[in-house]
Amino acid sequence: MEPLICFPRMGVLRIRRMSLQMVILSLILKRARIKALVKDKRSTEEAFGTYVECMVGNMEDKSFTKKALRGVRAVICPADDGFFSDLMDLKGVQHIVLLSQLSVYRGSGGLQAIMNSKLRKLAEKDEEVVLASGIPSTIIRTGSMQSTPGAERGFDFTEGVAAKGRMSKEDAATICVEALDAIPQKTLIFEVANGDEKVTDWKAWFAERMKMVTS
């Protein structure tokens, strides 16, 4: 597998919506070339050695982002931190995979809705920028992220499930990485949470899903 993968600016050892470690490990197993934008280069290199090319810099600096994205053909953004909210040159990028918690934020109420208001705005902006980019994109709207083992349960892709459902971080990482091999002709958006549906062939699953979008 040849594409360079570019992560958002979060430090690899800093956990937020999902575990970046799980995504990186999945990519390493697929023998992908990985370029990561991180805050802590040393800890990332200690964790993954030469498997990951680390870059540290100011994402507000357009010259840095242009350099960081040079040669990058696919971008995985596994967290809603406003990565796509800043104007950046995505020239050369052929596929964007965005993990989104937007459905969770929109589905929250009361105090939780107030606490999530900033994250909701960032998630909305991320999706807006990705949709407006014109780059083939896969937006995966998941249920609330849980630190539970992956591959123990199946999935539920029912529309509306992400707002109230839950999702293993490991399973979310798997879907992000599997999505790389399925570049849609136009933006593919779907919801997912853990459920009862088993997926044994992700290539076939994505092919069928893209067929539904284009039909």
For residue 6, is pLDDT > 70? Answer: no
pLDDT for 85 = 58
> pLDDT tens digit string along 28-68?
888 888 888 777 788 878 888 888 888 887 767 778 878 88
Return the H-helix or E-strand segment holding 53: strand 52-55
Tokens 């507000």 identify what position? Answer: 60
Q: Which residue has the higher pLDDT, 9 or 119?
A: 119
Between the alpha carbon of residue 213 and those of residues 141, 188, 206, 209, the distances in Å are 16, 7, 11, 7
- What angle, 0 to 180 degrees and rounded to 10, lies between the N-to-C axes of helices 20-29 and 41-48? 40
| Mean pLDDT over each residue of the chain, to the nearest integer | 83
Sign of the Cα torsion 9, 12, 17, 21 reads positive
Cα(58)–Cα(69) distance, rounded to whole angstroms? 13
> Could you tell me the pLDDT band of residue 73, with boundaries at 50, 70 and 90?
confident
Q: What is the pLDDT of residue 188?
A: 97
Which tens digit of pLDDT belongs to each residue from 154-175? Answer: 999 999 999 999 999 899 989 9
Global confidence as pTM: 0.86
48-72 burial, b if ≥16 CB within 10 A, otherwise e?
beebbebbbeebeeeebbeebbeeb
Residue for token pair 């892709």: 157
DSSP letters of 94-120?
-EEEEEE-HHHHHH--HHHHHHTHHHH
How far apart CA 181 and CA 202 sit, in angstroms, is 9
**Domains recognised in the chain with CATH numbers:** 4-214 (3.40.50.720)
How far is it, in rounded angstroms, from Cα 67 to Cα 150? Answer: 35
Q: How sure is the predictor about 86, in pLDDT bands with cuts at 50, 70 and 90? A: low
Torsion of CA 32, 85, 214, 107, to 10 degrees: 110
Contact between 23 and 17 (Cβ < 8 Å): no
